[in-house]
Structure 1
Amino acid sequence: MALKETADAVLAGLGDIRSELEAVYKDLHAHAELGHQEHRTATRVAEHLKNCGYQVHEGIGGTGVAGVLANGDGPTILLRAEMDALPVREETGLPYASTVTATDAVGRQVPVAHACGHDMHVTCLLGAARLMAAAPGSWNGTLLALFQPAEEPGDGADRMLADGLTDRIPHPDVAFAQHVLPYPAGQVGTRAGSFLSAADNIKITIYGRGAHGSAPQAAIDPVVMASMIVVRLQTIVSRELAAAQPAVLTVGALQAGTSGNVIPDSAELLVNVRTYDEASRQAVLAAIRRIVRAECDASGATRGPRMEEGTHFPSTVNDSAVTHEVAAAFTAAFGERAGTSELHSASEDFSRLPDAFGIPYTYWALGCVDPDTYHSAQQRGTVAQDIPVNHSPLFAPVLQPTLDAGVQALVAAALTRLAQPDEPDSMRP
């Protein structure tokens, strides 16, 4: 039996569980939970996995869940979905929109919504896990369904690893993950090599001398100093990196002072950097340090700047051989709806999991926008303006065909390794 035929056999039951999966998705969407607070979500995930016959490990790294389904001799593959939502007030107008509020890590009361689509990832993986469990005669090996907390804060994978994940589940041979992105629903996109950027967050504090707003000669103005730094930082990508070295540098916050007639004595900048290779990353970080120190010196700052490194996300670099296998499976499963994804400047912590096991991985894009809406915006040339992106209060995947496509993609990817090896498989490279 060819790989596509095996996948079709496993997916034959999708129609029977579609309405149930849609209900699960709507429930998760309406009950969004922040990172490290995904208790309700984790409980629902564990219940579903247990009902499908998985051996379930709960509370990994706080709220992480891993389901293990052994089905004879063969490879072990890991499918991962993240569970957390964002501190965003949902404005989609959906009947199942989130109205949840919660207390965040620093004690603030914030709205919470699944504005990045992690609820769709969870539902798709639950669907794939259930279909694989219901078709044991179609594959051999071990399936690991991993549900990770706190991808958005960037420490969810690390906490699972610190809590002994590598010792608590079988050692996988390969890992797979997907993410909804603002492309037409029903489409999937793979990319060998670099796919998502690394991300670095830096907090910069600069020090001047405060004075009355009417007497700037008595001050060393940190607002002017910070403004010069912001402008100069924009030259790093445009003037210090080659055109073939993509990078993004954003000053997302500049905070100084409390009154228009008071020159403050310090200012704070929050900087975010996205790069795709370590050489570019180190070059940009070194340039930031050089520019900040030089501008402070030029302004006569009362003391040197303080630069604190915050959350770091690793780059996502897909294994070429694994991606080729998955791309071939997607072409067979989706036809012209399977393609090559572009490079993305978003960031993820998924790669920390396969890296900890020392295994290859691939990560792909799953379209989630109503196709007619997308194509209309494309014809107008207004995709960037009219199609909400991840983290927008207006972002919400169209339920179908996104959900079906996400389940199909996970099953197809899993079967590139788990399909019975004694049967001919013309799709293997």
Structure 2
Amino acid sequence: MTTQSPALTGLDTDWLNETYLHLHRNPELSMQEHATAAFIEGQLNALGIENFRCGGTGVVGIMRNGEGPTIAFRADTDGLPIKEGTGADYASQATGRLPDGTEVPVMHGCGHDTHVAVLLAAARVLWENRQGWAGTLVLLFQPGEETGAGARAMVADGLWDRAPRPEVVLGQHVFPYAAGTVHISSGTAMALADALKVTLHGRQSHGSQPQDSVDPIVLGAHIITRLQGIVSRELAPTTPAVVTAGTFHAGLKENIIPDRAEFTLNIRTLTPEVRATVLDAVTRIVNAEAHASRAPQPDIEHIYDFPRCYNDPEHTRSVVAALRAELGEGQVVLAPPVMGSEDVGWLGDSIGVPTVYWFFGGFPAEEKNPPVNHSPYFLPVMEPTLTSGVRAALAAISKYLA
């Protein structure tokens, strides 16, 4: 079965759906996407599209079609350590191992299976309709988005020395919006993110003799409570930021005050300036509270960070026009930034070229509370989600290469 689109014709939706089902059933953890990479290579090789491995489990395809602009389009490939709870007959039964060796269930709980299937289908349509466009399209099948490692790994592996340098990097992400719609921001689209691990050092004592202790649990409680004042009291009410304490570990027995405690923080900000303000405040508060508790100076470890995803306004206007011409004026919504984070920004930022990144819907319009990304119940409806994702990709690509 085929579907026709003003962007380009020849989309085989049966093939698209089967590709998605294969990917959904076979997710792999970040930077372990070996079978996924091999599957992508097989699809590109079958079409005769030049490709190479990059960043370990990343795959880069290069579609050269005469003189014209060079652009890149990115799809991320990794799954999440989540046990799928959708009940679908194609639900993932896969397992994987975390870096520490722990075996965990794995599912595509963030829609990266959708992203890969859509980009492969768009590439297939373009390759079979080469008379309709000119230039070079670089296909970036990027691993490790969930850990923030993949885009950096590809850049460090010489991505832009081995592939043609684009004038813009495009990308999209399925989200719990109505299928057939696109939501896009001009300027900042997604937040910077930082993850910190804080280790507090105390002095152990029996629970009945607190006077002989330096209690890291009480210290940690004061720190975490005080950290919430950064957003409410150190930033303007119109300045978005999030400071979340996601884990807290301390002690082994109820009547022993332990000698250490650990907690982790996740921080989201929309500008480098606010990021610096929040990180400085975290360091100040952690150290000051430790001093107030007679505790040694804590250890603050930066676990990872994500760049800001910034949509170049001029390129965004062009892409919005193309998306509206393809999907309909009312189907493309100019939206505020979201506080979630992405590492797609590394790809363009590393060579100083702009990015345009948008969200496309994956759930029925009448569904009032669709599952959010990273939920065990996240399962976009296959159609029209997949087809509209391909149409959006083709429309944006064609804006540059038509």
Q: TM-score range by the shorter chain?
A: over 0.9
Corresponding residue to 2:395 among 384, 407, 412 = 412
In the alignment, which residue of structure 2 is the partner of 1:191? 185
Deviation sequence 1:87-145 (CA, Å, 0-9, x none):
11110111111111111111111111100100000000001000011111111101111
Find the aligned partners of 1:355 and 1:222 in 2 and give their Cα distance.
41
For residues 231-310 of structure 1, what are the structure 2 equivalents within 5 Å? 231-301=225-295, 303-310=296-303
For residues 2-81 of structure 1, what are the structure 2 equivalents within 5 Å? 8=5, 10-14=7-11, 17-58=12-53, 60-81=54-75
Q: Does 1:396 pair with 2:384? A: no
Q: How many residues align?
A: 398
Find the aligned partners of 2:213 and 2:352 in 1 and give their Cα distance.
55
RMSD (CA atoms):
1.1
For residues 259-408 of structure 1, what are the structure 2 equivalents within 5 Å? 259-301=253-295, 303-335=296-328, 336-373=330-367, 377=368, 383=369, 387-408=370-391
Contact 1:10–1:138 (8 Å) recurs in 2? no
Corresponding residue to 1:206 among 194, 197, 200 = 200
Q: CA shift at 1:388, angstroms?
A: 1.1
Find the aligned partners of 2:99 and 2:244 in 1 and give their Cα distance.
24
Find the aligned partners of 2:111 and 2:279 in 1 and give their Cα distance.
31
Q: CA shift at 1:48, angstroms?
A: 1.1
Q: Does 1:175 pair with 2:169? A: yes
Q: CA shift at 1:10, angstroms?
A: 4.9
Find the aligned partners of 1:327 and 1:174 in 2 and give their Cα distance.
15
Corresponding residue to 2:134 among 135, 140, 143 = 140
Amino acid at match of 2:373: N
Q: Does 1:90 pair with 2:73? A: no
Contact 1:341–1:365 (8 Å) recurs in 2? no
Find the aligned partners of 1:392 and 1:10 in 2 and give their Cα distance.
33
Amino acid at match of 2:131: G
Q: CA shift at 1:9, angstroms?
A: 5.2
Amino acid at match of 1:279: E
Find the aligned partners of 1:282 and 1:226 in 2 and give their Cα distance.
22
Unaligned runs of 5+ in 2: none
- With normalisation by structure 1, the TM-score equals 0.91
In the alignment, which residue of structure 2 is the partner of 1:159? 153
Corresponding residue to 2:97 among 99, 103, 107 = 103
Q: CA shift at 1:69, angstroms?
A: 1.1
Contact 2:7–2:391 (8 Å) recurs in 1? no
Q: CA shift at 1:218, angstroms?
A: 1.5
- With normalisation by structure 2, the TM-score equals 0.97
SS in 1 for 2:359: strand
Q: Which has the higher helix share?
A: 1
Unaligned runs of 5+ in 1: 1-6, 378-382, 420-429
Contact 2:6–2:326 (8 Å) recurs in 1? no
In the alignment, which residue of structure 1 is the partner of 2:123? 129
For residues 217-232 of structure 1, what are the structure 2 equivalents within 5 Å? 217-232=211-226
Find the aligned partners of 1:12 and 1:168 in 2 and give their Cα distance.
31
Amino acid at match of 2:376: P
Deviation sequence 1:263-318 (CA, Å, 0-9, x none):
101111100100011110010001101111111111111x1111111101001010
